[in-house]
Structure 1
Amino acid sequence: MLKIALCDDNNDTITKYAELISELAEKYKIQIEISCFNSGESLLFHYGYIQEQIDIIYLDILMDKTDGMETARKLRDNGCKAQIIFLTSYEDYVYEAFEVNAAHYLIKEDTSKEKFENVFLKAVERVSENKEELFAFKFEGKTTVIPVRDISYFEIWKRVVTVYYGNGESAKFYYSIERLENELSRKNFVRVHRSYLVNLSYIEILQNQSIKLKIGAVIPVGVTYMESLKSSLSDYISRFHIFNATKLNNGDGSL
């Protein structure tokens, strides 16, 4: 789940952008939690000093007492690694935004809904890239921990799951593929066969009855899973803008 903060001393502005962010999250099926603050001080109290996790911060600049730029500097000084997006009516501070490693600088009056959407998706993508999610399992008394992004696919045979990851590595453990599917569905994994669960980011070619992964493996696609696979892959591509990174081959080249 993405944690997002909106900080602005105008309640109408907060309401407007909180609703817009919620619409985008629903459109792209992104789980979010939005927190709203009317001052830099309140934001710093929650996310600066007690080090609570935050992923994306929308920050106005001209506010009473602690302005947005000072708030951003204090957040960075306290180790905050969030994507900071300045959302303001003033252009005067755009160069200072680089000093706090801001992800973007948006002028409220000149920012269309489409531009806001593009900036939001880029911030989400960066958060996803920076997060090191781990997958852990135990087999024969040994616990193994693998970064989720390194896993290409899972294969199950008679309750024994084999996870394939890294450069041709694999490991076995006991588990239910249904439970795996449920736990990893929001981490870009999709069921393509009764015995296979695949990481969407590893798909290179989609054919009529199989998929070829970037690691070279060819995975069968069950007839009952084809439509859901196409839908999931199409959604993944639209969210992360990787048309050039994935080849889709269905005879006519379309999903």
Structure 2
Amino acid sequence: MTIVIYTRDDNTTQTIKNNLINSHNHSFRYSDYYGEKQEIAICNIEYIKAYRRYSSLIFDCNEITISKNLGVLEHEFKNTTLIRVHRSYIINSTFVANITEKKITLSSGKKIPVEPKYLDNLYDKFPDAFLACGKRGPYKKIHLLQ
């Protein structure tokens, strides 16, 4: 799979590559409904949606619900490609197809709302990497291989 991201500098490029590598080397462990330990590769998680004190992880056309809220998961996934973009959503940046200041479209076609409060998470995590809308200057195209 090839990922195309727009960025202005090589430091951002290296940050993105490092985060992609970290995501591939990590797994998320959880207990299923029957109490059995399960594991998901973080790179396979497309997005996470909050349901009160529970969260649903969407990955590989599957969905599981776990009893952790989004705040806890946000902290656990701090050094990965998962980014909080809404009070109810965390997305995996490797699945981003398009991004604006109001919504993110994932490669599956799913549209995720973006709250202004969380725009800084995108800028801080991957400065200028996703917004190719002209507001942040010229961008060079980079290709990342997974």
Q: 1:224 to 1:136 in 2, by over 3 A?
A: same
**Which residue matches 1:159?**
53
Partner residue of 2:38 out of 144, 147, 152: 144
* TM-score normalized with structure 1 length: 0.42
* TM-score normalized with structure 2 length: 0.70
Aligned counterparts of 2:113 and 2:24: Cα–Cα separation in 1: 30
Question: What residue ranges of structure 1 are gaps of 5+ in the alignment?
Answer: 1-27, 29-117, 238-245
Query: How far apart are 1:206 and its partner, in Å?
Result: 0.8
Query: How far apart are 1:230 and its partner, in Å?
Result: 2.9
Letter in 2 for 1:157: Y
Secondary structure of 1:140 counterpart = coil
* 1:99-119 deviation per Cα after TM superposition (whole angstroms, max 9, x unaligned): xxxxxxxxxxxxxxxxxxx9x
CA contact (8 A) 2:74 2:83 kept: yes
Asked if residue 210 in structure 1 is aligned to residue 67 in structure 2, the reply is: no
**Which residue matches 2:66?**
173
Question: What residue ranges of structure 2 are gaps of 5+ in the alignment?
Answer: 1-10, 138-146
Aligned counterparts of 1:169 and 1:191: Cα–Cα separation in 2: 20
Query: How far apart are 1:249 and its partner, in Å?
Result: 4.8
**Which residue matches 2:112?**
219
Q: 1:209 to 1:130 in 2, by over 3 A?
A: closer
Secondary structure of 1:190 counterpart = strand
CA contact (8 A) 1:159 1:174 kept: yes
Larger Rg: 1
> Larger helix proportion, structure 1 or 2?
1
Q: 1:146 to 1:130 in 2, by over 3 A?
A: closer
**Which residue matches 1:183?**
76
Aligned counterparts of 2:24 and 2:41: Cα–Cα separation in 1: 10
Letter in 2 for 1:205: N
Aligned counterparts of 2:108 and 2:72: Cα–Cα separation in 1: 25
Secondary structure of 1:187 counterpart = coil
Partner residue of 2:27 out of 131, 134, 139: 134
**Which residue matches 1:112?**
none
What percentage of residue pairs aligned between the two structures are identical? 20
> Larger strand proportion, structure 1 or 2?
2
Q: 1:181 to 1:129 in 2, by over 3 A?
A: closer
